[in-house]
Amino acid sequence: MLLRTLKLTSVRNLAPLTLEPGPRFTVFSGENGQGKTNLLEAVYAVCTLRSFRTRRLADLIAFGASSAYLAAEVDRAGSVRTYELTLEPASRKVRLDGKAVRPLSRYFGGFQVVLFAPEDLAVARASPGERRAFLDRAVFQRTPEYLGEAQSYDKVLRTRNAVLRTLRERGTTSASAGGLLEVYDQQLAELAARRMARRAGLVAELRPRFQLAFEAIGRADRPAGLAYAPQVPGASEALGDEAALAGRMMQALASARPADLARAVTTVGPHRDDLELLLGDRPAAAFASQGQLRAMVLAWKIAEMEILAEAHGHVPILLLDDVSSELDPRRNEYLFEFLSSKGAQCMVTTTHPRHVLATGDRVDFEVRSGVVTRQNSG
């Protein structure tokens, strides 16, 4: 799979551009704040209809502009398709091959990217919410329908929380609130079960590849591990059975009802779950070195690329946002050896071209004040 052409108008600080990345390594260099990450964000947004930097796609609209336009021409095994995204402050328009997409799920599946950003390197010691977002990005790329499922869960969760606030204001007791909450509890439990199952399935699929990659690069005498940690009581023992998971969620909601009413929020569910990275049988955040933690994230990204290639029949495009300067020389070398062996198309940002070890089949661009200028002919 290749990104043939990227077209952008009024995206962040970037000047209007039509960019043709190289088939292997495309390197964008420049000082911080010049717009390098904006390029990768644009590719990610037109692929996933999400940003990895903000919750609002409208934030990509350039200051003073009324709209932004993003388009990607993607070649998958000789079949070329055009993905288009138009952003306005309160809306977005999505087109595939010049036509409106209905249902939206048809937009996904033929264009995958894997993002590797500096903040990912800190995920083991980040907040549970940041780890959930890290995990959810990978689940969505593996299973595109997960995006709609997660949005449905979040919508019901917001509605249930609004009901809880109303009930608290009315002084409703826990005993009498049960009937009012029952319909939302049932909806939330079913959606929660699917979300937990999707996450657990992705972690199980990644785990063996993650462990092998870490063994090759980790410099550790103990193996790395991954675990999905649902906070719903009893859910860990039922991850392979969605009906059982929904039942555990219903029980948890009933038990937590007094606390939910007191706090006017839903205190149990996959919105409270966590992703555990382990060194041996211990939490990596507490017992692994900084280098080992970074090797774990690198191993995750390698494993993610491998399962996406196997699942979808093509190697995803890799977006590397100034990661080379954060990795030690040995792990940086390993990363580019792996990428060279896989034949992946990679778009890389860096403060200096020398940080990127790719030497063959490489195209360089300089980014300065939002203007992207090609530096060589490959």
* SS3 sequence of 121-137: HHHHHCCHHHHHHHHHH
Question: For position 34, which CATH number holds?
Answer: 3.40.50.300
Residue 307 in tokens: 């399962």
Count of structural domains, the chain: 1
Question: Left if phi > 0, otherwise alpha if psi is -120 to 50, otherwise beta: which for 313?
Answer: left
Report how far residue 160's alpha carbon sits from residue 145's, in angstroms, rounded to the nearest whole number.
23
How many helices and strands (H and E) does the chain possess?
8, 15
Query: pLDDT at position 218, please?
Result: 67
Q: Give me the pLDDT at residue 378, please.
A: 45
Residue 289 and residue 233 in contact, taking contact as beta carbons nearer than 8 Å: no
Distance CA 85, CA 7 (A): 10
Give pLDDT, residue 35: 95
Would you say 269 and 188 are in contact if contact means Cβ atoms under 8 Å apart? Answer: yes
**Residue 356 is part of which domain span?**
1-112+314-378
Return the number of other C-beta atoms located less than 10 Å from residue 34's C-beta: 21
Q: Give this prediction's pTM.
A: 0.86
> For 2, what's the count of Cα atoms within 13 Å in the CB-facing half-sphere?
15
CA 59 vs CA 74, 103, 104, 151: distances in Å:
25, 25, 21, 20
Q: How far is CA 74 from the centre of its chain?
A: 20
Residue 20 lies in a domain: yes
Let me know if residue 77 belongs to a domain.
yes
195 close to 150: Cβ distance less than 8 angstroms: yes
- Residue with structure tokens 């329908």? 145
Q: Is residue 202 part of a domain?
A: no
Return d(Cα 271, Cα 263) in angstroms, integer. Answer: 16
Q: Is residue 352 part of a domain?
A: yes
CA torsion through residues 28, 31, 36, 37, sign: positive
List all residues 6 or more positions away from 126 whose beta carbon is below 8 Å from its beta carbon: 119, 134
**Alpha carbons 342 and 336: distance in angstroms, whole number:** 10
Residue bearing tokens 């995958």 = 112
3-state secondary structure (DSSP) of residue 138 = helix
* 350, part of any domain: yes
pLDDT of residue 180: 80
> What is the rounded distance in angstroms from the CA atom of residue 64 to the CA atom of residue 103?
32
Determine how β-strand 371-374 pairs with β-strand 25-29: unpaired
Residue 214 within a domain:
no
If you compute the radius of gyration of the chain from its CA atoms, what whole number of angstroms results? 22
Q: Which helix (H) or strand (E) holds 198?
A: helix 174-217
Mind listing the pLDDT tens digit of every residue in the chain (378 residues)? 899 999 999 999 999 999 999 999 999 999 999 999 999 999 999 999 999 999 899 999 999 999 999 999 999 888 999 999 999 999 999 999 999 988 888 888 888 999 988 888 889 999 999 999 999 999 998 998 998 899 999 999 999 999 999 998 888 777 677 678 889 999 999 999 999 999 999 999 999 999 999 988 867 789 999 999 999 999 999 998 999 999 999 999 999 999 999 999 999 999 999 999 999 999 999 999 888 888 899 899 999 999 999 988 888 999 999 887 778 888 888 888 888 888 889 999 999 888 888 877 899 999 999 999 998 654
Whether 97 is in a domain gets the answer yes
DSSP3 helix / strand / coil % (the chain, rounded to 5): 50, 20, 30
Q: Are 28 and 350 in contact (CB under 8 A)?
A: yes
Q: Which helix (H) or strand (E) holds 87?
A: strand 79-88
pLDDT at position 179: 78
| Residue 331 CB contacts under 8 Å (≥ 6 apart), including other chains | 217, 291, 294, 295, 298
In a domain, 363, yes or no: yes
